[in-house]
Amino acid sequence: MRHDDRVSLDPAPPLLDPVSSSRPGAVLTVSGPDRPGVTARLFTALAALGDGSPAVEVVDVEQVVVRGQLVLGIVVAAGPGCDAAGEASLVARLTELAGQVARDTGMQVGVEPAGPAAEVPAGDRPHHVTLLGRPVTPDAVAGAATAIAGVGGNIDAIRRLSDYPVTSLELTVSGAEATALRTVLAAVAAGTGTDIAVEQVGLARRSKRLIVLDVDSTLVRGEVIDELAARAGRAAEVAAITAAAMNGELDFAESLRARVATLAGLPVEVLDEVREALVLTPGARTLIRTLQRLGFRCGIVSGGFTQITDPLAESLGLDFAAANTLEVADGRLTGGLVGEIVDRPGKARALARFAEQYAIPLEQTVAVGDGANDLDMLNAAGLGIAFNAKPVVREQAHAALNQPYLDAVLQVLGFTRDEVLDAL
């Protein structure tokens, strides 16, 4: 299923009166097995209605093909000079036209009065609601649809973004206030095990140009410092401190220094062993490769260590990297750090620094992370995504993903599976 994104720019007053004005309007709906020429036949017939000047003007069009079945909707308004009194006449003429088109094409063609167009209140602009799962179950779709209706929203369109590695559906929803929509859909996501992201419709969604990824438990599986601590015989102690810090129970900078202190005496060669044993999160390469080919600047900002992250960034061809640096003396770790600490506020500062370096506004950035020390960075970005994150992070991020595949981020950004494949 494919839709072309449609962008409407209105620098000047519209040339056409909306259907909600005094002019009559109608909706034509065409459905049936897709075949060449159906759309051309219908619009040719509409054009022939006029006698020297257009009898109708096209107000809106939406077409989709689902597994060979076409659904085409067209909203038309009577030409200038017509008023509401001509609605019955217009519908009658269009009904006759629909019968002709149906006989010629073998499609079903329906006609009904358009009625007044509802005004969309300022602040209640349409939203994209993205459902992701393995699979997306009927109860998840039903729950989302019920929740949307419950806050006054209407589902205007649905399309599938991907069927691999996760199934994702994008709903275009109008008439619902953003906060209310996110609140009710968060409950649906928790109850059905489906990831649901909400973003406002508009150019901003496709204007993102820089992505920052956390490393431990985001770009790679596991926590590097836990691996180092295991080699120092302090695994249990360090794991407890790490968990408390990631859950937001301890100051990250303080907990980092406490954990690093346990590594004193480890030979520097251990860093190479841990780095070589790193396992990327499934979908990480696909995400980075796709976004780079789409013109994104991609990099990492980590509370981990440059001795690990810099070679990782180089191997992935990333544009930038920021992390802490372990102090080394006489070929062994001292248990200390050198340079500025990349903690929770440090991550947000790094995001801002890299965005400025590449002249990209913060609202055009994306940040992905899992721990409490990522929260400032996630909130500073135009879109902050909690990836298999701790509860405190899921609750505060703009969107949350609990799938095991990092490239599911592409669907949150609105890219279809076909677009991903085209970019690879």
Q: What is the DSSP string of 66-94?
A: ETTEEEEEEEEEEPTT--GGGHHHHHHHH
User: Given pLDDT bands bounded at 50, 70 and 90, which one contains residue 10?
Assistant: very low
The distance in angstroms from the start CA to the end CA of the chain is: 20
Neighbouring C-beta atoms of residue 231, cutoff 10 Å: 15
Mean pLDDT to the nearest integer, 100-114: 92
Q: Residue 44 carries which side chain, given as an amino acid letter?
A: T
Identify whether the C-beta of residue 288 lies closer than 8 Å to the C-beta of residue 282: no
In this structure, the strands spanning 210-213 and 297-305 are parallel
Return the axis-axis angle of helices 306-316 and 284-293, rounded to nearest 10°.
60
Distance CA 58, CA 111 (A): 14
What is the pLDDT at residue 307?
97
Q: Residue 395 carries which side chain, given as an amino acid letter?
A: E
Strands in 69-78's sheet, in edge-to-edge order, are 56-66, 69-78, 25-33, 108-113
Q: One of 34, 214, 374, 376 is an active-site residue; which one? A: 214
Select 210-423's CATH number: 3.40.1160.10, 1.20.58.710, 3.40.50.1000, 3.30.70.100. Answer: 3.40.50.1000
Identify whether the C-beta of residue 102 lies closer than 8 Å to the C-beta of residue 108: yes
Mean pLDDT to the nearest integer, 153-165: 91
Distance CA 251, CA 361 (A): 29
Helix (H) or strand (E) holding 260: helix 252-261
Tokens at 294, concatenated: 């789409």
Helix (H) or strand (E) holding 368: strand 365-369
As annotated, the residues of the chain forming the CATH 3.40.50.1000 domain(s) are: 210-423
Q: Is 376 labeled as catalytic in the residue annotation? A: no
What is the pLDDT at residue 250?
80
> CA 188 from chain center: how many Å?
18
Helix segments in 106-234, DSSP class H? 138-150, 178-192, 224-231
Distance CA 209, CA 213 (A): 14
> What is the residue-wise DSSP string for 201-217?
-SGGGGG--EEEE-TBT
Q: Residue 62 carries which side chain, given as an amino acid letter?
A: E
Class of domain 25-113: alpha beta
Q: Please, what is the average pLDDT of the chain?
A: 87
Q: Is 370 labeled as catalytic in the residue annotation? A: no
Beta bridge partner(s), residue 359: none
Identify whether the C-beta of residue 275 lies closer than 8 Å to the C-beta of residue 311: yes
So what's the architecture of 127-201 in CATH?
A: 2-Layer Sandwich (3.30)
pLDDT over 90 for what percent of the chain?
A: 67
Pairwise pLDDT comparison (254 vs 301), residue with the higher score: 301
| Per-residue CA distances from 152 to 146, 147, 175, 176, 255 (Å) | 10, 9, 6, 5, 46
Beta bridge partner(s), residue 75: 27, 60
pLDDT digits (tens, 9 = 90+) for 35-57: 899 999 999 988 888 665 567 88
123 pLDDT above the threshold of 80? no
Query: Cα-flanking dihedrals φ and ψ of residue 129, to 5°?
Result: -110, 115
Q: One of 34, 195, 216, 374 is an active-site residue; which one? A: 216
pLDDT digits (tens, 9 = 90+) for 204-227: 777 899 999 999 999 999 999 999
Distance CA 369, CA 353 (A): 18
Q: What angle do CA 310, 219, 269 make, to 5 degrees?
A: 40
What distance separates the 2 farthest-apart alpha carbons in the chain?
93
What is the pLDDT at residue 115?
65
* From 95-99, 122-126, 252-256, 409-413, the region with the lowest mean pLDDT: 122-126
5 pLDDT above the threshold of 70? no
Identify whether the C-beta of residue 291 lies closer than 8 Å to the C-beta of residue 298: yes
As annotated, the residues of the chain forming the CATH 3.30.70.260 domain(s) are: 25-113, 127-201
User: Given pLDDT bands bounded at 50, 70 and 90, which one contains residue 8?
Assistant: very low
- Per DSSP, 280 falls in state B
| Per-residue CA distances from 404 to 47, 74, 308 (Å) | 52, 41, 23
